[in-house]
Structure 1
Amino acid sequence: MEDVAYRVIAVNETPDHATLARFRARHQDAIAGLFSQVLGLCVNAGLVDAGLVAIDGTKIEADASYFANRTRDELAAQVLAEAAATDAAEDDLLGDRAGSELPDDWAGGQGRRERIRAALAELEGQPARDYEARLAERAAKEAATGKGLTGPKPRPDTANRPGPRKANTTDPHSRIIATGGSGVMQGYNAQTAATTQQIVVAAEVTATTNDQPHFVPIAMAVSENLAEAGAGKVGTFVADAGYWTGANGTADVGAEVLIATRKPPWRQAERPDDHKITILAKVNRGELSQRQAGDILGVSYTWVRDMTKRYFGKDGPRQARTAQPEPDEWIPVIERLARGEISKRAATDELQVSAGRVNTMLAHVRGEAVDPEIARHAMDAKLATEAGTDAYRKRQHSIEPVFGNVKGNLGYRRFTRRGMTAVHAEWRLICSVHNLLKLRTATTA
């Protein structure tokens, strides 16, 4: 009503909040499609240089409260029953609709049961974390395969056992996401890719804290968006250590890949000596029993007994390996294991590594996967070159100013819609606004 530009865009109309909200919901696919059109304008204006593209993620709050999370039992028994009782009471009180109510999607408590059912569906799709669910999942797998599973069984008294799974009744697709030193938030992880000119070339939304699974998808999205906009191919993708895995470092994404393999020192948490070795040393000195140590570590007392013997034998303390063996040391040993000349236990003892690490080495020797340590050494070598150092140095000032503009200048720190499809369209809209501002600045300079 006060801004002339808005009055012009709205043809001198003053739509209220409900009208705007319905418009955004009705046309969310078209709104998301604006991103590609704006990117095309930036390409035509010569603002998109795909020689280097930086990938990173930022946490955005959901339009939901952290305190609206419920466990499966709470959803199924308590909240769903309350919702049904409320609906029944409203039906008795109001009867048929009067005709002046808001649409179902915008009517406050309406659809609560559907959201709760969606939250239950989200819980079913998540991996089991609580003791009862993990036990049931294990029993189902054993019944399907007809044989027992190896490894320690879930225990109800494990000290570091995670809590029961929860889902949000307001926005079931959102998650409790860690935000570094700031605690946690109910929100999403917005994955973004930008050029050195700070033009956003891909904008996706996920609901996981971990960035690692999203490197290849966002890289492929960049290539698709640039091809659709008529731009050239990407020369190099750069990303921070949050995206590092051996698979990501060796992924075929049609461009050079540079990913930091370790966090910078100022971001590494101060950690004491290895926790397990410290506990095992206390067992060896008689300060803890094997069962007490097992309770602390969440393992069986037999595991404590065997590992204590391994690290602290009858002849006194044995020096444990403090670094991973180099490839020229472990490859001959694993080749002998692959030929059946030695057992897996003998390989773990000789190399002083875990059985899981031996499995990874064996997969590399067999050609089934690239060993992560070999991939790490190769990536460190690329980053150590002059060209690699110069390219990676551009990462921070390519992507971080985008987040600074969106959150700091535009004040956009919280989604206003709910659900993965809706927030994805909203994030692409806000990134389109960022690109339009860059386009305006470039054309008026």
Structure 2
Amino acid sequence: MNGVPAWVCGGVAGEWVMAVNVRSGDLDQLFLMPPSVRDWLPEDHLAFFVLDTVAELDLTAFYASYPADGRGGAVYDPALMLGVLLYAYCTGERSSRRIERKLVEDVAYRVLAVNQTPDHATLARFRSRHQEAIAALFGQVLGLCVKAGIVDAGMIAIDGTKIAADASFFANRSREDLAAEILDEAEQTDAAEDALFGDRRGDELPAAWSGGRDRRERIRAALDELEREKARDYESRVAERERKEAASGKQLTGPKPRPDTARRAKPRRANTTDPHSRIIPNTGRGAMQGYNAQTAATAGGQIVVAAEVTVTTNDQPHFVPMATAVTENLADAGHDEPVGTFVADAGYWTAANGTADVGAEVLIATKKPADHRAERPDDHKLSVLAKVNRGELSQRKAGEILGVSYTWVGDMTKRYFGKDGPRAGRAAEPTPAEWLPVIERLNRGEINKREAAGELMVSGTRINSMLAHVRGEAVEPSIARAVMDEKLAEPRGSALYAQRQHTIEPVFGNIKGNLGYRRFTRRGLDAVQSEWRLICAAHNLLKLRTAGA
């Protein structure tokens, strides 16, 4: 019998001695009493914490998707399936096939599933069928964190991280490639199938034809995405034009945007595997096919309070939406205290973001304006440029003498020599103390824009932005930058901004480094959004468990 010691004896030269006290083990021994799976794991195991968490969640949306009349085949309990899924994500496992294997081999999974064994297809269908309800779990888990008192909204850090899509970089195609090379081939395949198989069902096709229709659907989806991108470009240009006209009080000159005149240096490309994903530069690592995952976290405890996925590389457009999402999520989670300060790095800096009214103080590192003007050439270079201006040297010959390109020679000759003689360029951007008096004179009608631009040696576009600031129509970037730099230079602002890296980077470190989530396993923006929120919900669950330990 299991658990009963057996005495193993041995004799030496006729003398019996006690040997080893061992416990016998019998694989054929039956349980004398019905076993309880709760006895298989220690009480403080993560699996039981996940089960207790699922018991606190509102799963109405999950059950509502099934018929309420009791008809049809039996389904696995959504609470059971959700417990398995949450535990898998908390331990860094997302593969449905590996989870299926663990439901047989891993004791924790067997406890969570109560010895039931849904296969990988069932797990994948559950995750796809309930993707909206799964995404909504993020808010419920955040509510549990608020109830536990571990959410401190005094300082919220916002940042983005690049996560690879479940698609290849080399699956990107231009519209012409999709239409001429792939789509035509797909239509030929359709015709060949129709001629060979007639009107029979698709599941009767041999294996050699399998997957073709799904690929064609993805190709058509990629073409649709290209059309939507073109439409969004047109709408954004129209909206920008309307905004400028409203600010100036008069119609702009020049041709109006048209849907068929999207000008781009390179043709748009869409991915045939995941049409929503984009080619995104990855700092120091080239480029990847992926998404920009925006995240906001608290300074105390690194609790994620907002999680969104975007397809744009630039972080600037996402600051205000993320700040708004944080406020709404905290309110829905029952957090009564307002956010104290939003902190973000220089990737989010714009004058509009720095002065945005988001219900809290804003601290964003500023980007120093780039000075694209070349430094004044030395006397030797100027003498060579003067010869070019007089026609004594060609631009190409002067470029060989100076060791520069002939285009540089041409640009510098125009800059420093003209029909009116040598010109001097501005060494730096004019300070507000310099340009405010000039623009105020312009606003009073004492001088015109050309005279103001000549006096300040800036472009007409800069004059327009300066004038809009004086009139109260917009915040001039240099003013907003100076105000933000002053805030960041103060001891309080400096101390708050110093916490940014220690607030948001540990979140990405845990998600990418500890849990191993560097690539999405689902495809499409909605599916990826659901998965990112589930990942962040798992991160918060682990934080909640540690806080309650």
When normalised by structure 1's length, the TM-score is: 0.81
Tell me the residue number matched to 1:155: none
Tell me the residue number matched to 2:167: 64
Q: In the superposition, relative to structure 1, how do residues 434 and 343 fare at CA in structure 2: closer, same or farther (>3 Å)? A: same
Map 1:44-443 → 2, pairs under 5 A: 44-93=147-196, 96-97=200-201, 108-126=211-229, 149=255, 162-196=265-299, 197-231=301-335, 232-262=337-367, 274=373, 286=388, 288=395, 309=414, 311-313=416-418, 317-443=422-548
Aligned 8 A contact 2:351 2:476 in 1: yes
What is the percentage of aligned positions where both structures have the same residue?
67
- For residue 75 of structure 1, report the CA deviation from its aligned partner: 1.6
1:239-259 deviation digits (Å, cap 9, x = unpaired): 000000000000000000000
Gaps of 5+ in 2: 1-103, 242-250, 257-263, 389-393
Q: In the superposition, relative to structure 1, how do residues 296 and 414 fare at CA in structure 2: closer, same or farther (>3 Å)? A: farther
Q: How many residues are aligned here?
A: 403
Look up the equivalent residue of 1:209 and give its one-letter code: T
Q: In the superposition, relative to structure 1, how do residues 368 and 175 fare at CA in structure 2: closer, same or farther (>3 Å)? A: same
CA distance in 2, matches of 1:251, 1:326: 23
CA distance in 1, matches of 2:371, 2:482: 26
1:216-260 deviation digits (Å, cap 9, x = unpaired): 000000000000011121100000000000000000000000000
Q: In the superposition, relative to structure 1, how do residues 284 and 419 fare at CA in structure 2: closer, same or farther (>3 Å)? A: farther
Look up the equivalent residue of 2:395 and give its one-letter code: L
Tell me the residue number matched to 1:104: none
CA distance in 2, matches of 1:118, 1:296: 44
Look up the equivalent residue of 1:414 and give its one-letter code: R
- For residue 296 of structure 1, report the CA deviation from its aligned partner: 5.9
Q: In the superposition, relative to structure 1, how do residues 99 and 168 fare at CA in structure 2: closer, same or farther (>3 Å)? A: closer
Look up the equivalent residue of 2:312 and give its one-letter code: T
- For residue 428 of structure 1, report the CA deviation from its aligned partner: 0.2
CA distance in 1, matches of 2:282, 2:386: 39
Q: In the superposition, relative to structure 1, how do residues 89 and 15 fare at CA in structure 2: closer, same or farther (>3 Å)? A: farther
Aligned 8 A contact 2:371 2:428 in 1: no
RMSD (Å) for aligned C-alpha atoms: 3.5
Q: In the superposition, relative to structure 1, how do residues 385 and 169 fare at CA in structure 2: closer, same or farther (>3 Å)? A: same
Gaps of 5+ in 1: 102-106, 151-160, 298-303
CA distance in 2, matches of 1:8, 1:77: 54
- For residue 19 of structure 1, report the CA deviation from its aligned partner: 2.1
| Higher RCO by CA contacts (8 Å cutoff, separation 6 or greater) | 1
Q: In the superposition, relative to structure 1, how do residues 277 and 219 fare at CA in structure 2: closer, same or farther (>3 Å)? A: farther
2:395 aligns to what SS in structure 1?
coil
CA distance in 2, matches of 1:374, 1:315: 34
1:418 aligns to what SS in structure 2?
coil
Look up the equivalent residue of 1:436 and give its one-letter code: L
Tell me the residue number matched to 2:122: 19
Aligned 8 A contact 2:395 2:406 in 1: no
Q: In the superposition, relative to structure 1, how do residues 251 and 295 fare at CA in structure 2: closer, same or farther (>3 Å)? A: farther
Tell me the residue number matched to 1:40: 143
CA distance in 2, matches of 1:382, 1:241: 14
Q: In the superposition, relative to structure 1, how do residues 443 and 341 fare at CA in structure 2: closer, same or farther (>3 Å)? A: same
When normalised by structure 2's length, the TM-score is: 0.67
